[in-house]
Amino acid sequence: MSIGDTLLVGRFYSLAREGERFSALRVGPDGRIRGTYAEGEPLPPDLPRPPLPSGTAACVPAFTDSHVHFLTKAAMGSLVTILSRLEDGRVLPDCLEGVRVLLVEAAREKFRGPVIGYGLAPGVLAEKRLPSAPELDAWIPGRPVIVLSFDGHSSSYSSLALRILGLESQARDGVLTGEAHEFNMDRVMAYAMRALSPAALARGISRTIREAAQAGLAAVDCMEGFGNERREPGTEILARIGGRLPLRLRLWLQYTLPERVRRYEDRMARPRAGGCLHWEMDGSISSRSAAMDRPYRDRDHAGKLYRSPEDAFALCRPFHEAGYQISAHAIGPRGIESILSAYERLSGGPGGTARARRHRIDHFEFPRPDQVERAGRLGLILPVQPGFAWIDARFHKSYPEALDDETLASFTPLRSLLQAGAVPALSTDAPVQPFDPFLQIAGAVEHPVASESLSVYEALRAYSRAGAYGAFEEGDRGTLETGKYADFAPLDRDPFETPPAELHRIRPLGTWTEGRPLEPPPEDLAGFLVRALASPRRKI
């Protein structure tokens, strides 16, 4: 018997091969799987057997969320008021008066500093719009007020907030959308973060890790960095302590200047650049700023392309030549074309260095058929969110208002992407959506286009193995096999025995990493720092 070995007994799906299931895992003191046991195979009697959580029906490899705005999510509990909720099958508030009530209540509770609301879904409001500056001025006189849409691609401001941020000339009636929103979010976030104390940041990080652990997540790709010019204490702190946190963080820097990114290279497991904000090729559907081929149903335009193919190539080239893995946001087909053609040029043709570098296009929501095939030839990693359409069909119902039937039928074609050779990696875009893997899995299995649906096995792999592969960690994580780490999520239902319509109800019962439960750090600043400093540091 190896000293320190333990035996974990339960129903474990490896996801290495379809249908492969074990009754136990033997885990060494280094957290790696030393052996697996098929059902009915005798188990060693002399090993300690740590119990799995009560109610565990099955275990699957732990999930990776491949696209998260981690610091933004961590800051939200202290900084913002959430402006939408699900209640009895409806999204509330459903009118601007309801928004006013929430913001005024927040202003009373926090009597100083900015009042910030997040998560507003304009499409469900009777008025179908964000509040204007005159309305915000009247609701909360003399205070800076900021309202952000649920997709993070449009915003509105009181007159005082506009003056403080220097955005008066760019806002129409206090509202920013498209490029005016995307490329000024560095100012907005820097202003908001100044109101966040170290204690509040520690508390927010701890709570975010707890939420991730409760969702079965072992790793997240963090899209951080808001602008090229300002020093950002939050990003610098995360780079310093992220490698000491129990949740595996992978830092993606959204700066567009190579010299800004290079400052963090010694903290990173591999050089990475890109994400959203200044790396966005276009906007979003709900804000009507994604660059589509045909006009929106309720607008006289088809969205605006933020970066042309030449612009995208110029942005990516210095990072690609320096050996970086690159990620960029693109939703509409014209946005996708800009970054896809840039990767093709940088690779010198099909495949090539883009495949070896594992470049990404995040969202990849409405591609043309030829773009699906080209993404496959390049072997691109595609962090996608099929839960968007699943939630929209049941609650927001905004996509059919914006898009014609032919465009809707092109939504995130998961089956075609797999067949083409691309790597769809399920993710939430948190805080846009909650850390709930089974919303995304339900969206993949109950795809709005039935022929593009994934099986439960494929969807689970797209949340585990694909995320590990996108981080060059497939040799260590992503499936439960001998030699890999025992990272898994205990579930309250067996997903392979759950009807598709019930998948969204499955709840993880925590996260186990390296054979042990993932424990978030304490929420108080002193306890947080003691735990972080006592933990070994790894690169992120």
Q: In this structure, is residue 11 part of a structural domain?
A: no
Give a yes or no: residue 374 inside a domain.
no
| 459 burial type by CB count under 10 A (0-12 exposed, 13-18 middle, 19+ buried) | buried
| Mean pLDDT, residues 265-280 taken together | 95
pLDDT of 172:
87
Rounded distance, CA 412 to CA 363, Å? 8
Q: Can you tell me the mean pLDDT for 469-474?
A: 98
Least confident of 144-153, 211-220, 423-432, 516-525: 144-153
Give the model's pLDDT for residue 330.
98
240 part of a folded domain: no
Residue predicted with more confidence, 95 or 352:
95
Upper half-sphere CA count for residue 319 (Cβ side, 13 Å): 32
Per residue in 359-400, pLDDT (tens digit) is: 999 999 999 999 999 999 999 999 999 999 999 998 888 899
pLDDT at 344: 96
Instruction: Check residue 195 and give its pLDDT.
Output: 78
What CA–CA distance (Å, rounded) separates 36 from 14? 10
Instruction: Give the integer Cα–Cα distance in Å for 155 and 256.
Output: 23
- Confidence (pLDDT) at 112: 82
b/e sequence 374-383, b meaning 16+ C-beta within 10 Å: bbbbbbbbbb
Overall number of domains in the chain: 1
Strand partners, 365: none
pLDDT for the residue 1: 44
Looking at residue 81, which CATH number applies to its domain? 3.10.310.70
Structure tokens at 360: 């990404």
> What average pLDDT does this structure show over 273-288?
94
Given a cut of 60, is residue 351 above it in pLDDT? no
Cβ neighbours for 290, distance < 8 A, ≥ 6 positions apart: 282, 283, 284, 303, 331, 332, 335, 365, 366
pLDDT at 256 over 50: yes
Instruction: Kindly state whether residue 33 falls inside one of the protein's structural domains.
Output: no
Which 3 state secondary structure label does DSSP give 120? strand
pLDDT, tens digit, 9 for 90 and up, residues 158-168: 999 999 999 99
Each residue of 51-86: pLDDT tens digit? 999 999 999 999 999 999 999 999 887 788 999 887
Query: Is 88 within a domain?
Result: yes
Residue % of the chain over a pLDDT of 70: 98
pLDDT digits (tens, 9 = 90+) for 289-336: 999 999 999 999 999 999 999 999 999 999 999 999 999 999 999 999
Residue 297 placed within a domain: no
Range of the domain at 182: 75-193
Residue 469 in contact with residue 479, Cβ under 8 Å?
no
User: Do 516 and 8 form a contact (C-beta atoms < 8 A)?
Assistant: no
> Do the Cβ atoms of 204 and 78 come closer than 8 Å?
yes
Q: Assess if residue 479 is contained within a domain.
A: no
